[in-house]
Each structure stands twice: as C-alpha cells, then as structure tokens.
Structure 1
Amino acid sequence: MGLIGKLILLLIPVGVAFIYLQLIKTDPIPKLEDAYWGPKSEQGKKEDSSIRPFKVDIQATVLDDLKARLKRELDSDRLVAPLEGVGFEYGFNSKYLKTVGQYWLTKYDWKAREKLLNKYPHFKTNIGGLDIHFQHVKPKAKNGVATRPLLLLHGWPGSIIEFQKIIPLLSEPKNSNYNYELIIPSLPGYGWSSGAARPGLGTVEMANIFKRLMDRLGHKKFYAMGGDWGGFIVSDLASAYPENVLGVLSSLCASNMPISTVKSFLASAIPSLFTTPDEAKHLIPFSETFSFLVRESGYMHIQATKPDTVVGLTQSPLGLAAYILEKFSTWTDRDWISREDGGITQKFQMDELLDNLMVYWVTGSVTTSVRLYSEALIPWSGYNLDKVPTNVPYNCLLGAKDMMTVPRISLVDKFTNLQRFKFVSDAGHFGAMEVPQLFADDAVSFFDSL
C-alpha cells in the first residue's frame, strides 16, 4: 500500500469522528434579553406592570357586521362547486362550507358562548410593550392540598379555546395531592394579546415574555404544557430557563439537532432496530410522511414567507372558516380527507370550532398570528436554542394521528431527561381539545410524580 493509501486509511476514522462530533455538538445556554416589542413612539416609557382584569365583551356592531358578511357570502353564487366525488382532498369542501356558514349565521350564539368563556377570569398586563392577555384560574383552597402553577400554551390555528374543556380537570383534579393554578395566555399576536410592532418575535422571544409573565405573577418556578407552537415555546422555556421550569408536558416534541435528524431517518427506515414495537406501529414511513407534508404544508410556506398576503382572511368569514377549519380535519385524522364534511364534527362540537374561529375574527388577529411562522422559521435573534439540550423533566404525549410522528430515539439528545414518551392512538394534533380527560390525567400523574 502506498503513502496515499495509508493517508486515506488514517483520514477515514478522523473524518468519521469529526462528522460525529459535529452531529452531537451542543451550544451553551444563551442569556435572553428582555426586549421591547411595542411601537417606537412608546419606547422608553416606564412599563405598566399592573395586572388588569379583562372581560370578553364583543360589541354588537362587530357581530352585526359578521352576520351581514355571512349572509352576503351565502346568498351569492361565488362559491365554486367541488369536483364530483371529492371530499377534502382539494381543500375545504364548498358544499360543507355552506353548511358551516348557515350554522354560524342562524344557530351559533356568540353571546352565550361569551358567557362560557368568561366563566374563568381574564386579565391583561403589559410586557415588553405588548398587552398580554391571559386566563388565570386559581383553584379553591383545600386543607392539606398544595397548589402548583402550570402554564398552558396553545398554537396555530388554535387559541385559548383549546384548553377550555381541560381547565376543570387540571385545576382541581380528583385523584391528586395537588391543585393546579392555571395561567393560559393568548400568544402575542393571537386573540386579545398585542402583536409585535417590529420583526423578530419568534418562539424564543415568546418564551422570554412568558417567563416574565410568570415572574410577575409570583411564580419563579412552574410547570408548563403546550402543543403546536406552544410545544416549541415550552421547549425554549425549558432550554433557556431550566432553573425555573420544573417539568414539561408537550403534545409536539421536536429536536432539530443534527444527530436527531439522523436518528429519526434511521428509525423510519429500520424501525425494528431503533424503536419499540409499540412505537414502530405508530411511526409513519418516511416516504409517506414526506408526501403527506408536501401536500399539507403549503400554508406554512405562505405564512413563513409572505404572511401579510393572506389579508383576505380578515375580510371574508367563510374564507377564514375554510382556511382554519380545514386544519381541524386533516391534522386530527389523516383518513378524514376523503369525507365531504372532513370529519371535523367527529371529535369537536361545531360551537367550539366556531368559538376558536371567532377569537380570530372578532380580534382581527389572523395576520399577526401567522407572522409567527416567518419569525420562527426564519429567526432573527441568533439564540439558536435548537442546539441547547435541556435536563428539565419532560413528557412527550403525542397524537398518533397527527401530521407526522417522531421516534423517542430522535428526542433524547435534546430532552436529556425524557421521562415519559407515549403515542395516544385516538388523538391527532389538538390533543387537549380532542381527549381532554386523557391529557389531564396524564399531566396530573406526571406533574404529581415530580
């Protein structure tokens, strides 16, 4: 063997070792700044740290305008008929959209739903120049029962509506030595929380805002629970503030570490070698996941690149209904795509679906909400928490019918204290809304154990 051959033999293991070290490389925990996100004209003023009571009370003029728009759209002939024999394969079926619109116009009673929403107290406080809205549910005191603070974070196209059914199950659970004090914010730019006045407010920056909110409420240490964007934000909270977050339950667990991507691919290709039999039966093959995501992720590309272009969603109630409610079909169960009604009332009541839709409509927040895709997927901050592992106790409770599934092996490098990992066979993307009792029981059991 010549000199060149010997050098090649020497360099191969060196190269393999270098690649492996790059794959497992982690970053130190960055120090997040308490940034200002309000208008420049207000910057420099002393922040109002008061906690102000808030009540959901939509003016009659807003509701009258909504009804007028709905009636006009339903009476027109501008809705294009669906292709014959097609369910939701081409998007929200326009025949069923008329059914939804008629229910919204003639049967849905916002003022009655508003009373239900106001059953639990609402508040606002200013953080970083933004008014942050949140529900704050304090359990009734019981002798010998301690209370623990729990932060719950929603995502898109959800809202605080996702957690309304789970509130009584968490705040005073029956089989627990603890009660849970629930803090349920609207994400910045969603619902009744202000949107940022300048670019850069992504999930990491939102994690900082919610850490400041919990500090303001007197909770230096707390538990956290989230799904969709809320799942990414609680992950960022655990990574940036491990001394403050006592434990996390997430219905969307993800790791963007390079080694995690490799492990995920291997587990998808050869599940028998890298997963348990129970995991393997829930993992979607890589080829199927790829084709599914290509079909289902068009909205993401628009929202990550040109979020303000979807301005039509603030003008047309039926347009907003089609855009948002379509996600409650395929994201809840991939097999519902062939149904004319998208299956959306199989697990959800029409009233609660419209409650969630109304949060976007009456606040006009759909544009500011979708900007999060641009800020998170094209980050400005450079904090790079994706490469910061966390040792906070973690529980990944994942919907087996969600858009994609991940194996446990791909998460352990990011969540080094992953204590629980489970697929819920009867749940999709909106777990706490779909099967609230199951999620509440699992959360209480997990948090109690810590």
Structure 2
Amino acid sequence: MSTAKPYKLDVSDDLLSWIDNRVKTARVIPDVIHASGDEWIDGTPTAVMNEIVDYWKTKYDWRAIEKKINETFNMFVINIQEADEDITLHFVHHRSDRKDAIPLLLSHGWPGNFLEVEHLLKLTNPEDPRAQAYHIVAPSIPGFTLSSAPTKPGFGIAQIASTYHKLMQALGYSHYVAQGGDWGSLISRSIALQYPEFCIGVHINFIFTRIPSPLRHPLVTTYLALRWLTPEEKKRLGRLQWFAKSELGYAQIQQTKPQTVSYGLLDSPTGMLAWILEKLKTGSEPDFVWENEVVITWTILYLIAGSAWHARIYKEAAASLEKDVYSRRISSQVPFGFSSFPMDVGYVPQWWAAATVAENIVLWRDQPKGGHFASCEVPAALIEDIDEFVRILREKGSSVRWEAVLKAGVNGKY
C-alpha cells in the first residue's frame, strides 16, 4: 500500500469557468402556486432557487471558500487497492496532541461530504482536559467529491468499508472507533461485521434494518404486529414511513438509472444544487437555515468529482446490502451505540435493533432536536453522545481492547 500524501484543493480555472458560465446562463423554471406550507411539496421552490442562484452569480467566491477549506482541514490522499480497483482515497486527518487520544473514523453519506466534520475537529483537543481526545479520520466515499471513482460495478458498502479499514491500518491505527450517519452508518456497521477484532465500537446516528424473523424473534414481531409502541416510537417510526412513501423518488431513480440521472445533474450546476438542497431541507429541522454559501459549496464538491458514483452507490449497495449488512448482527465483541434525532428519517426502536442490528447495545439516545445532518445542525449533541459512548467503552468494555486502541493512537502517522 502506498503512503499518504498531503492534499490541497485547487480547482482548475477551466472547470470554474465552465461552472460560472452554466450558472450565469441558468434557467430557473416557474413553479405552480402552492398553498401556504406546501411550497416544498414538489421539490425545491422557484423562489428559493431564484434567490440562491442570484447569490451564486453575484456574491459567491469559490477561491475564498477553497482557501478556507485548505486552512481548516488537514487533507491527504492515498492509493488503496480494493476489489481489483485502485482507489485514490481522499481523507481528512487531524491528530491530537494528547497521548491518551484514540482514533475515530467518521463516515459521511449522500448528499454529504467531508465538510460535515468541521464542528467535530475540536475533539482532537477538547477544552475540558478530562474529556476524551480523538485522532479524527474522515474519508470521502470513493466516487464522491475528492476521492476517485471505481471503474467497474460491484463496489458496494462492504468494499467501501474494507477500503476505510485499509486506510486506518495504513495510518497506523490498528484499532479504532467507527461513527457514521446515512451511508456512513452502513459503512460503519459493515466495518464492525468484517473487522470486529479491530473496530472496538460503533456509534451511528441513522438506522435502516430488516423486519425481524418471526421464528427467531417472536416477541419482537408480536410488538410490531400489535403496534405496541410508545408515543415517541410511533412518532419517529411515522416519520420513517412518511419518508419511504413520499420522499424516496430520488433513491429509486439513482438505484435504477444512476448514469442517466447523472448526465443531467453533472451538466447543470443549478440542477445539482436543487437536487441536493431538497434533501438538506427535507432532513433538517424546519427552523434550521442552510446558508447559501454552504449549499453552493457542497454542490461544487459533487461537480468536481465528475462521477455518477454519487448516484451509483444506491444501485451497488442495494444489490448486496441484505447479504453484507442486513442479514447479520454486529457481534457482542463490538459495543454499539445509536443516537436518534427526531427529524432524521432512519429509525427503529431499541428492541427492534437488538434483534436485527447489534447484540451489544450499550448506548441509545433519543435526542430532542436535530435531523439527518446532526454534525451540522446540532454538533454539541452529537459530540456529547460520542463522548458518552466512548466513556462506556473505556469504563465498562474490555481493558485489553481499550489498551489496544490507546496504543494505536500513539502509533498513528501523518
């Protein structure tokens, strides 16, 4: 395996010129008149698009944003061989100065990216000297933003998880904690399933899983059949059901025709922005404001990739998720934690997750506020839960595994 090399973001003038020309000549089509409160029912509204496209034309400065990204994030690339593919993996890596720091692998999903970890970088050197410190590692999914794309089908969640594990080994982190949301939650679960001897714990903030087997879990399926649910469980499951019924059109087209939809999205910066913004709005608290600058920056990162893999992951993952993730429980060797944010769309009750997701659930939190992008919306709450999960690992878990993860932190490179 090759060594990691420092990386600086430097988008070519030609690509920026192409993006600018597309934005300057963009057509924002009119919408129908909706009743108050229904403005987003058919997708990103014209009024919102007009405002943000005007901002992009007149105020947005990519070079200033690019400079800020390079100053904020310590970025690297490394070549990793996985499943007959040579992946140039982009990742953020911030090492702590603390000798007791442990490696924390943070995995994003779609339409997210590595910028989501900005508010978590403080974990390398927390203000409270008694708080746990972390070495932060945040890769970009192959084919997303700044990581190269696989060239053949079949590169699913298990292969992404293996790529990330190889990254951690290359960094000297033989043992580590994994955390993720959206696709990152499934990547983290796959890591725990494939490498339980190295992953000492998994914390996620998004859950999808299968219906429990009536033969193996008759009591759980009885609860489901009779809807023996608390009011809060009904509320959060109801949001999942609403999303599955009304909001999964994007996933169905990306799962079936990822190449076709990508021609349109990658050839139209404003089209990609509308596609992304709609999901940011859908998955967030109603009062959370996605700044224009942030939405445009996330959009440009996907345009830079020039790859259909932002959509293709839905097809490749769907083909193998049942076999690779949903049909297996994380063993008791790997403690599991979950944080549920009320405006997220992936949820099952703890007793359901115990039957299908993980044998050893040590932390379960129903947070009162936040959505799908918790690290952006409510980073303090997510940090609190990560710290509590790791405290449980430290105080109640295997002392041998804790010593191993401490040693891995000392041995880290770059």
Normalised to the residue count of structure 1, the TM-score between the two structures is 0.79
Report the CA distance between 1:248 and its aligned residue: 1.4
Written as runs of structure 1 = structure 2, the 5 A alignment for 1:24-423 is: 49-73=2-26, 76=27, 79-85=29-35, 86-118=38-70, 119-128=72-81, 129-139=86-96, 141-142=97-98, 145-168=99-122, 170-175=123-128, 176-256=130-210, 258-259=212-213, 267=223, 270=226, 273=228, 275=230, 279-280=232-233, 282-285=235-238, 289-310=240-261, 311-333=263-285, 336=286, 346-365=288-307, 367-379=308-320, 383=324, 386-391=327-332, 392-413=334-355, 414-423=357-366
Whole-angstrom distance in 2 between the partners of 1:249 and 1:282? 23
Report the CA distance between 1:387 and its aligned residue: 2.1
Following TM superposition, where does structure 1 have runs of at least 4 consecutive aligned residues deviating by more than 4 angstroms? 260-271, 380-385
Whole-angstrom distance in 1 between the partners of 2:205 and 2:21? 38
Report the CA distance between 1:308 and its aligned residue: 0.5
Confirm or deny: 8 A CA contact 1:226 1:249 kept in the other structure.
yes
Larger radius of gyration between Structure 1 and Structure 2: 1
Structure 1 pair 150–380 and aligned structure 2 pair: CA distance change class (3 A): closer
Letter in 2 for 1:407: P
Letter in 2 for 1:378: A
Whole-angstrom distance in 1 between the partners of 2:184 and 2:149? 16
Whole-angstrom distance in 2 between the partners of 1:355 and 1:149? 28
Letter in 1 for 2:365: K
Structure 1 pair 404–53 and aligned structure 2 pair: CA distance change class (3 A): closer
Whole-angstrom distance in 1 between the partners of 2:222 and 2:29? 46
User: When the two structures are aligned, how many residues end up with a matched partner?
Assistant: 380
Report what 2:399 is aligned to.
none
Letter in 1 for 2:155: L
Letter in 2 for 1:68: N
Whole-angstrom distance in 2 between the partners of 1:296 and 1:262? 31
Whole-angstrom distance in 1 between the partners of 2:220 and 2:299? 35
Instruction: Using the aligned pairs only, state the percent identity.
Output: 30
Q: Deviations over 1:33-61 (max 9, x none)?
A: xxxxxxxxxxxxxxx51211110111222
SS of alignment partner, residue 90 of structure 2: strand
Whole-angstrom distance in 2 between the partners of 1:262 and 1:371? 37
Whole-angstrom distance in 1 between the partners of 2:240 and 2:54? 36
Whole-angstrom distance in 2 between the partners of 1:102 and 1:262? 57
Report what 2:401 is aligned to.
none
SS of alignment partner, residue 242 of structure 1: coil
Whole-angstrom distance in 1 between the partners of 2:61 and 2:327? 43
Confirm or deny: 8 A CA contact 2:375 2:382 kept in the other structure.
yes
SS of alignment partner, residue 146 of structure 1: coil
Confirm or deny: 8 A CA contact 1:395 1:420 kept in the other structure.
yes
Whole-angstrom distance in 2 between the partners of 1:363 and 1:432? 23
Q: 2:369 aligns with which of 412, 420, 426?
A: 426
Confirm or deny: 8 A CA contact 1:254 1:411 kept in the other structure.
no
Letter in 2 for 1:403: V
Report the CA distance between 1:437 and its aligned residue: 1.3
Report what 1:449 is aligned to.
392
Whole-angstrom distance in 2 between the partners of 1:226 and 1:347? 22
Query: What is the alpha-carbon root mean square deviation over aligned residues?
Result: 2.4
